[in-house]
């Protein structure tokens, strides 16, 4: 036997197309596509060409999937690449007499042109390209709630059902397959979610390591305190858990996650890697390395691709040795091999950590030849009943303090007051909804309830943008609702803005029928 390794990449961006450009808006998606999604596709295709039998769990949220599939995105992304090419040519002009900088700009240009060629080869359809890798067994694509809604804070099941059901239908529409794995938005869980997730045809989801409670007593107080519970055992993440309702949960391994996720304690902060925060004033491209964590930006040294690649190889070897050691320790104590599941935001690889994709590729290559470890999809582990125990989860998330504070606090309570108001309105009017008006109402409710808006406010990453985007969709919801109630003709929002490529043809009747049964 061997220990089983599973790496989960969670890909998500809020609805941003046509919603501003810089610094907040659709360039988020363009940047991530160039820095992360295309490099990952390249790495996966190269591993396939090298006949490496790799396995990766690749979550794509429905709202991201809808945007990647839109013609608007595909056209605008090509324009974005053209603008980047122009900027790099200007960099080269400015670097005359500085051969090291000129050569680095030239390497960036070659890379850019390669990704443009790859994007055209797949006809701009990243979702189809990743779905093909799923059909071939390399990827297991997870779905999620439609707009990454923060499920535990909803007041009624209709909101949860509309998020999950729409997410599953978008997935099936774009991949041609039914989803079996589910990413809990923000790893946020509350008891009872498993019943809805299972009834909608899903087999497993991912939770954070502290979600497990060995006592089997879930937290009952959502916002006003935390009940005491027994800490899970040291090796609790090395099992998967049957939590009832024919649903299995897998827990993130904290040791492996910290090595990759932490810029201060983990690999991404190494001095040889490219500095994210220092950009060249002409183009915005980075030409410097981290050098040292405490080195001021104006003292950063020139980036060396060769040195960085050497580091990725040594860090990949170190990571796999850690996998081997963790599994050996678990096996020594428990007399069986364990599961090590490492889950990350996909955007860490390539975008935030430039060398992350190369590191991941190297890890997958090493593990494929490692006698003590093997890669496996969660669905395969379930099928083979590998290390499954009965268990219970407590209300939790991967946010600050492991609970809901990041999304519910003094700065965001007003958002939830409005959402809870709209939940009641939607529940009351649902039986009478029909046609385009009903679909538009559901769509705006889904967009209003994205977890991104309170997250952006709390973290101050784009506070005013988060407020503006929440109110935009909330106001649309209220206006459509008012028109439906008064019997007025509802304006066709498709003709008013670029929202027409997001959640068209919502299964209104399916939602009504399912909710009526529950």
Catalytic residue positions, numbered: 186, 345
The runs of H, that is alpha helices, within 221-295 are: 254-261
Between CA 174 and CA 127 the distance in angstroms is 7
Continuous H helices in 369-451: 378-383, 413-429, 435-448
Alpha-carbon span 451 to 183, nearest angstrom: 14
| Nearest residue to 133 (alpha-carbon basis) of 63, 58, 196, 195 | 58
According to DSSP, residue 275 is labeled P
d(CA 129, CA 15): 21
Q: Are 280 and 88 in contact (CB under 8 A)?
A: no
Q: How distant, in Å, are the alpha carbons of 153, 159, 383, 406 from that of 420?
A: 9, 10, 39, 18
Q: Are 227 and 217 in contact (CB under 8 A)?
A: yes
Over the range 87-107, which residues count as b (16 or more CB within 10 Å of their CB) and which as e? bbeebbeebeeeeebbebbee
3-state secondary structure of 345: strand
Reported as type and span, the H/E element at residue 240 is strand 240-242
The answer to whether 154 and 407 are in contact (CB under 8 A) is no
Distance CA 41, CA 439 (A): 34
Per the CB < 8 A criterion, the answer to whether 406 and 458 are in contact is yes
Asked if residue 110 has a cis previous peptide bond (ω within 30° of 0), the answer is no
Cross-strand pairs, 206: 183, 250
* 183-to-148, 207, 287 alpha-carbon distances in Å: 9, 8, 36
Beta bridge pairs of residue 89: none
Kindly state the DSSP code that residue 344 receives in the 8-state scheme: E
Nearby residues of 159 by Cβ (< 8 Å), 6 or more positions away: 149, 419, 423, 426, 445, 449
| Rounded to 5°, angle at Cα 348 from 42 and 236 | 110
Residues facing 242 on adjacent strands? 248, 390
The answer to whether residues 94 and 18 touch, using CB atoms and an 8 Å cutoff, is no
């Amino acid at each position: 036997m061997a220990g089983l390794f599973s790496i989960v990449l969670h890909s998500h961006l809020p609805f941003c197309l046509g919603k501003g450009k810089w610094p907040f808006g659709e360039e988020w998606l363009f940047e991530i596509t160039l820095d992360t999604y295309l490099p990952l596709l390249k790495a996966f295709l190269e591993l396939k060409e090298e006949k490496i039998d790799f396995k990766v769990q690749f979550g794509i949220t429905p709202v991201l999937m809808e945007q990647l599939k839109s013609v608007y995105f595909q056209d605008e992304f090509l324009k974005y690449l053209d603008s980047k090419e122009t900027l790099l040519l200007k960099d080269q002009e400015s670097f005359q007499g500085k051969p090291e900088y000129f050569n680095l700009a030239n390497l960036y240009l070659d890379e850019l042109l390669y990704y443009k060629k790859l994007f055209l080869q797949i006809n701009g359809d990243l979702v189809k390209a990743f779905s093909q890798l799923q059909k071939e067994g390399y990827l297991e694509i997870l779905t999620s709630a439609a707009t990454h809604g923060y499920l535990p804070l909803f007041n009624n099941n209709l909101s949860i059902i509309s998020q999950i059901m729409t997410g599953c239908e978008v997935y099936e529409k774009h991949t041609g397959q039914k989803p079996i794995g589910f990413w809990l938005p923000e790893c946020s869980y509350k008891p009872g979610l498993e019943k809805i997730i299972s009834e909608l045809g899903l087999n497993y989801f991912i939770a954070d390591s502290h979600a497990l409670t060995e006592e089997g007593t879930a937290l009952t107080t959502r916002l006003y305190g935390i009940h005491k519970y027994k800490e899970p055992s040291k090796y609790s993440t090395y099992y998967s858990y049957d939590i009832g309702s024919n649903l299995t949960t897998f827990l993130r391994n904290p040791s492996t996650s910290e090595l990759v996720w932490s810029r201060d304690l983990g690999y991404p902060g190494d001095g040889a890697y490219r500095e994210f925060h220092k950009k060249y004033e002409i183009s915005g491209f980075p030409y410097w390395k981290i050098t040292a964590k405490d080195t001021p930006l104006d003292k950063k040294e020139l980036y060396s691709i060769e040195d960085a690649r050497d580091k990725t190889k040594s860090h990949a070897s170190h990571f796999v040795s850690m996998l081997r050691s963790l599994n050996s320790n678990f096996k020594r104590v428990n007399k069986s091999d364990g599961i090590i599941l490492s889950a990350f935001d996909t955007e860490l690889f390539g975008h935030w950590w430039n060398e992350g994709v190369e590191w991941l590729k190297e890890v997958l290559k090493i593990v494929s030849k490692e006698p003590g470890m093997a890669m496996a999809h969660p669905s395969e582990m379930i099928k083979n009943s590998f290390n499954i125990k009965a268990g219970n989860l407590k209300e939790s998330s991967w946010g600050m303090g492991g609970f809901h504070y990041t999304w519910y606090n003094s700065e965001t309570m007003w958002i939830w007051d409005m959402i809870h108001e709209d939940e009641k309105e939607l529940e009351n009017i649902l039986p009478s909804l029909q046609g385009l008006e009903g679909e538009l109402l559901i769509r705006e409710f889904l967009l209003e309830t994205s977890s991104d808006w309170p997250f952006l406010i709390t973290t101050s990453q784009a506070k005013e943008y988060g407020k503006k985007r929440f109110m935009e969709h909330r106001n649309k919801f209220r206006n459509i609702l008012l028109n439906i109630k008064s019997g007025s003709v509802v304006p066709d929002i498709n003709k008013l803005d670029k929202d027409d490529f997001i959640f068209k043809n919502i299964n209104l009747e399916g939602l009504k029928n399912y909710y009526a049964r529950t």
